[in-house]
Amino acid sequence: ALPARVRIHEVGARDGLQNESALVPVEVKAEFIGRLAAAGLRTVEATSFVHPKWVPQLADAEQLMPRLADLRTRYPGLRLPVLVPNERGLDRALAHGADEVAVFASATESFARRNLNRSVAEVLEMFRPVVERATDQGVAVRGYLSMCFGDPWEGRVAPGQVVAAGLRLLELGCTELSLGDTIGVATPGQVGGLLEAFDKAGVPVDRLAVHFHDTYGQALSNTLAALRHGVSVVDSSAGGLGGCPYAKSATGNLATEDLVWMLHGLGIETGVDLAELVATSSWLAGRLGRPSPSRTVRALAGQ
Ligand code: HMG
Ligand code: MG
């Protein structure tokens, strides 16, 4: 059976904009996030408190946060998580009012090294005090796991390797684990296989989210496979923005509009107003100077 409702974890302002070559002004980012909330999205990842030299697109995190403060009063229940790689990032995030954070590990050594300059084991050790301190302060921590299906340097990734790393993130105290197909190579059979492996390892499916990139056009099929396995939290990015600057061949995330079109067609509730979301992505595409890659945006906005 499919879930009656899916919670969309919107990552356009973070995963999307971190990979745009254009530097988007902070006022435009704040307006983008405000419009996503107005369109009904209730989990909107806002930015990253990573090293500004590593991700210059999000170097304005400190300037962005105060511009989002009144959204929480305007939209009760709105969650605005931010990425933090280490204690320095957590300090910055907490000082600027973050009430939910995410750490991000890798199932593969090659990507851990390129993305965080450390081995997988060192990355997890770096996160330990982050998760502890955040949890002590009542700040929930999501755990991302990258390269869950394939890795550009290592090829296909074995489910056992992914489950081992995922279990460590959950043991550290992450409340949710987002399984990332960072480079968008997965196909639905692999998704089912990985979710079964987590099930066998005793991880309840309500702790899992899926995070698909659409490089090979498989993101929606993969999402449907995950829904059939009981997953009900899906990451996507408005207009299909995105990628990852440290993974060659990563293109945009699954577009939120494409996801909403499928979910509503299946009778699954999302709380999202699709017309308002399409208008938002069209507006941002205009600011970025290029059309949205989302098929649904193109169909509905006539781009
Ligand atoms: P490092 O060079 O090893 O840093 O980078 P370090 O720990 O050696 O520290 C060096 C200097 O950086 C120090 O300053 C620190 O204070 C400073 P110094 O003492 O030399 O003056 N520093 C910081 N400054 C600001 N904010 C911080 C911070 N941390 C250290 N948080 C580091 C390690 C983690 C910093 C670096 O590798 C980094 O920032 N990486 C971020 C990479 C990233 O953001 N990637 C994209 C997100 S992941 C993704 O997109 C995948 C996902 O979507 C899921 C999927 O699709 O798979 C989530
Ligand atoms: Mg991603």
Q: pLDDT tens across 111-167, in order?
A: 999 999 999 999 999 999 999 999 999 999 999 999 999 999 999 999 999 999 999
Question: Which of 47, 50, 114, 127 maximizes ligand 1 atoms within 8 Å of its Cβ, making it the mutation to test the pocket?
Answer: 50
Ligand 1 atom 44: residue of nearest CA = 50
Nearest of 112, 100, 118 to residue 43 by alpha carbon: 100
Q: If DSSP codes are grouped into helix, strand and coil, which group holds residue 261?
A: helix
State which amino acid sits at residue 219: A
Structural tokens at position 15: 């995963």
Q: Which atom of ligand 1 is nearest to the CA of 106?
A: 57
What is the whole-number distance in angstroms between the Cα of residue 105 and the centre of ligand 1?
A: 12
Whether ipTM exceeds 0.85:
yes
pLDDT number for residue 290: 84
Q: Which residues of 235-259 are buried (b: 16+ CB within 10 A; e: fewer)?
A: bbbbbbbbbbbbbeebbbbbbbbbb
Give the rounded distance of the alpha carbon of 292 from its chain centre: 18
What is the whole-number distance in angstroms between the Cα of residue 100 and the centre of ligand 2?
A: 18
Regarding beta strands 43-44 and 47-48, do their DSSP bridges make them parallel or antiparallel, or are they unpaired? Answer: unpaired
Ligand 1 atom 16: residue of nearest CA = 88
pLDDT number for residue 249: 58
- Burial of residue 155 (CB within 10 Å: 0-12, 13-18, 19+) is exposed
**Separation CA 227–CA 222 (nearest Å):** 9
- pTM, two decimals, is 0.97
Residues within a 6 A CB radius of ligand 1: 15, 18, 48-51, 54-55, 85-86, 88-89, 92, 104, 115-117, 144, 146, 180, 182, 211, 244, 246
Q: Which atom of ligand 1 is nearest to the CA of 58?
A: 44
**Separation CA 223–CA 235 (nearest Å):** 10
Which ligand has an atom closest to residue 244 CA?
1
Q: Which atom of ligand 1 is nearest to the CA of 84?
A: 31
**Separation CA 143–CA 173 (nearest Å):** 9
What is the whole-number distance in angstroms between the Cα of residue 240 and the centre of ligand 2?
A: 11
pLDDT number for residue 248: 62
Residue in 33, 148, 244, 284 annotated catalytic: 244
Nearest of 302, 301, 293 to residue 238 by alpha carbon: 293
What is the whole-number distance in angstroms between the Cα of residue 116 and the centre of ligand 1?
A: 6
**Separation CA 271–CA 268 (nearest Å):** 10
The 3 state secondary structure assigned to 131-170 is: HHHHHHCCCEEEEEEECCCEECCCEECCHHHHHHHHHHHH
> Is 174 a known active-site residue?
no
What is the whole-number distance in angstroms between the Cα of residue 212 and the centre of ligand 2?
A: 7
Q: Which atom of ligand 1 is nearest to the CA of 180?
A: 57
pLDDT number for residue 243: 59
Beta pairing partners, 144: 104, 178
pLDDT number for residue 23: 86
Ligand 1 atom 36: residue of nearest CA = 116
- Burial of residue 172 (CB within 10 Å: 0-12, 13-18, 19+) is buried
- Burial of residue 130 (CB within 10 Å: 0-12, 13-18, 19+) is buried
Structural tokens at position 227: 């829904």
Which ligand has an atom closest to residue 45 CA?
1
Which residue intervals of the chain are DSSP H helices? 26-38, 61-74, 87-95, 109-116, 120-136, 159-172, 188-200, 219-228, 256-265, 274-288, 295-301
Cα-based angle 94, 98, 103 (whole degrees, multiple of 5): 85
Which regions in the chain score pLDDT beneath 70?
243-250, 303
